[in-house]
A and B are shown apart, each in its own frame.
Chain A
Amino acid sequence: MIDLVHAILYTLVMALIIFCCRAFPWILQGFNNQISRVKDIVHRKNRNIDNQPWLSFVERLVPPSVMTILAFSSILDGLWPGSAFSSITAITTVLASLVTILLHVWKRNALLSILGGTGLYVLLLWTLG
């Protein structure tokens, strides 16, 4: 666990990164305006932010793979917490994950799926543990 001073430092750095993600198109525009002033004279090309293939790669491949990795790694953490295998946390994790998936596919309501899955997890830990 990191101490409070570091936690505040991490918070500010992460906040800056999140802001840059949200401000990216505006940052890119500012950057492109500088470049295109020079390049337009030479190439007469229209630089549109929508036509950049690597940006499309980031948009379409990063979210699915990152979300899958986060979901699977936290489920696996529940199955093998630390080094010791615990059958109780394994069972509760599997059941609560299944309920979360089913609730979400059924209703597609984020709040309902999170509360339903977490509620079941807490209840199962309480009754089994």
Chain B
Amino acid sequence: MKNTIFTYTLPVLLGYLPLGFAFGLLLVDAGYPWWLAPLMSLTMYAGAAQYIAVGLFTAGASLWEAMLITLLVNSRHLAYGMALFNRFPPRSLRRLYLIFALTDETFALLSSLPSPQSQKEREAYHSRMFWIALLDHSYWMAGSVLGAIAGTMLPLKIEGIAFALTALFIILMIEQIFIVRRAYPFVVAALLTLLSRVFLPARLLLPVSIVVSLLALGLSERYVLKGQRSLSGIGDTGEGNRAGTQEMMQHSGETEKL
């Protein structure tokens, strides 16, 4: 059984090793000791948020700024827990670990596991879930340790490797475009980012543009687009919301993003 679980998680291994490696390299390049990389991968265990943390550390961001950005970047995980809510095992340490380890990739693997048919299968299903989550976490840890150690041993600084972060954000945005299939949230957010960049100091850019664009989108949903089938489902029936969420889940499950 262990062997089939390993082959099932193989695509995540191929993705997590290089991405974890790049994270370790980036963190050591920024001037931190190598062991901070496994510490972050052990406790945070989130691809995008760990990359962003390196940027926040080097920019000398305040704790409030770091908290707000972490919350907003990881808000997509709210939906993952809801999708797997009834499939997870009953209250136990194993369930606690599964909730902790619910990254995009682990969610994709867990949500495409076939559901158990009998009570006997349920136990095997829950243990399979646990091993998948544990293996994925270990790949991410291994990648970041290797990257951090390579960063301390190699004297050369690879200039431009931080572009990996920009590339990551670009692909996460494209994935969102494929899911949402509506131009206006993207156009509003992009324009507000440009305006903030021109008129505000760099430190205020992220928090201000995030808060203002959410306010603008929320208000336009509420008052401008009220008649149409709105994006957030405000004014829809509960059934509409449910269908929309499931549609989103399916898309998240299909794609391999961070």
Contacts and interface: CB of A to CB of B under 8 A. Distances in A.
A10 B19 CA distance: 21
Contacts of B74: 17-18, 21-22
A2 to B, nearest CB: 5
Contacts of A15: 43-45
Contacts of B175: 67
Contacts of B31: 1
Interface stretch (B112-120, B121-129, B232-240): B232-240
A74 B171 CA distance: 13
Contact of A65 (B30, B179, B210, B244): B210
Give the interface centre of A19, A56, A97, A125 by most chain B CB atoms within 10 Å. Answer: A56
B81 A100 contact: no
Interface residues of B, number: 101
A68 to B, nearest CB: 4
A62 B214 contact: yes
Interface of B: 14-15, 18-19, 22, 30-33, 36, 39-40, 43-46, 49, 52-53, 56-61, 63, 66-67, 70-82, 85, 99-100, 102, 158-161, 163-177, 179-180, 185-186, 188-190, 192-194, 197, 202, 205-206, 209-210, 213-214, 217-218, 221, 231-236, 238, 241-242, 244-245, 248, 255-258
Interface of A: 1-2, 4, 7-15, 17-19, 21-26, 29, 48-51, 53, 55-78, 80, 92-93, 96-97, 100-101, 104-105, 108-111, 113-115, 117-118, 121-122, 124-126, 129
Contacts of A97: 166-167, 170
Contact of B14 (A24, A48, A108, A111): A111
A4 B36 contact: yes
> What are the 3 A-B residue pairs with the smallest beta carbon separation, nearest first?
A68-B189, A15-B43, A51-B238
Give the dominant DSSP class at A's interface: helix
Give the dominant DSSP class at B's interface: helix
A81 to B, nearest CB: 10
B188 to A, nearest CB: 7
A117 B163 contact: yes
20 contacts: A11-B39, A50-B238, A60-B244, A64-B177, A65-B186, A67-B172, A69-B189, A70-B73, A70-B173, A72-B189, A73-B206, A74-B165, A75-B166, A97-B166, A110-B15, A110-B256, A111-B15, A117-B167, A118-B164, A126-B159
Given A68-B186, A110-B15, A8 B39 contact: yes
A96 B170 CA distance: 11
Contact of A17 (B67, B161, B170): B67
B82 A50 contact: yes
B220 to A, nearest CB: 10
A73 B209 contact: yes
B139 to A, nearest CB: 13
